[in-house]
Amino acid sequence: MKQHRLSFELEMVTESAYECIKLTGRLAYDTQLAAEQKLAMAAVAVKRRLVLIDVSGLQFLDSTGLALLVRFFKQVVSASRAMAMIVRDNAVLEKILLIAKLDRLLPIVADEQQLLSLPPLRLPDSVGQEELYSAWRQCQL
C-alpha cells in the first residue's frame, strides 16, 4: 500500500523591496497544525512592509488552507503591512483563489514584476494594503 506523504513547507526570502514567503506542498486539513505554526512564526518574523505570498508551489489547497491564508492576511494587515499573492503559472490554484473570492481582499498576480510595476510600489516601505489593492484593481480595469 502506497503511503501519502503529508507535507507543508514554508521558506522566507528577503528582498530589498519586500519579503517573499514561498509555500510548497499541501495546505489542507491534514497539514493544518504544521502550517498554522509555520505561518504564525513567519508573521512574527516579517520585517518588510510588503509581504508577497508565493503559493505557486502548492500542490493542494482546500478550505482549511484557504482559511489559514485569510488568517495570515489579517495578521499581516493588522501589523500595518501590505500583502499580495503570487500564483505564477499555476492556473488551477489561481482559479481556486478566484472562486474563493480572495481577489476581493488582496492582489493576486502572476509574478513579482507585475506587482512591483504598480505606482504605489515605487516606495514599497510606505505602501499600505488599501493603497496597494486600489492600484492593482485600477490596473485590472
The CATH number covering residue 125 comes to 3.30.750.24
The number of folded domains in the chain is 1
Quote the percentage of the chain above a pLDDT of 70: 96
| Cα–Cα distance for residue pair 28/67, rounded to 1 Å | 10
Region 55-82: what's the mean pLDDT?
96
For residue 3, pLDDT beyond 60: no
pLDDT of residue 5: 59
CA proximity to 26, closest of 47, 10, 2, 3: 10
pLDDT of residue 53: 98
**Residue 51 · residue 76 · CB < 8 Å:** yes
Residue with more model confidence, 23 or 141 = 23
For residue 1, being part of any structural domain is answered with no
For residue 16, being part of any structural domain is answered with yes
Domain that holds residue 49: 8-140
Residues 77-126 have pLDDT tens digits of: 999 999 999 999 999 999 999 999 999 999 999 999 999 888 878 777 78
For residue 102, being part of any structural domain is answered with yes
pLDDT of residue 127: 86
For residue 3, being part of any structural domain is answered with no
Cell of 14: 528577503
pLDDT of residue 23: 98
For residue 2, being part of any structural domain is answered with no
| Cα–Cα distance for residue pair 108/106, rounded to 1 Å | 6
HSE-CB of 74 using CA atoms within 13 angstroms? 6
> What band does 1 get if pLDDT is binned at 50, 70 and 90?
very low
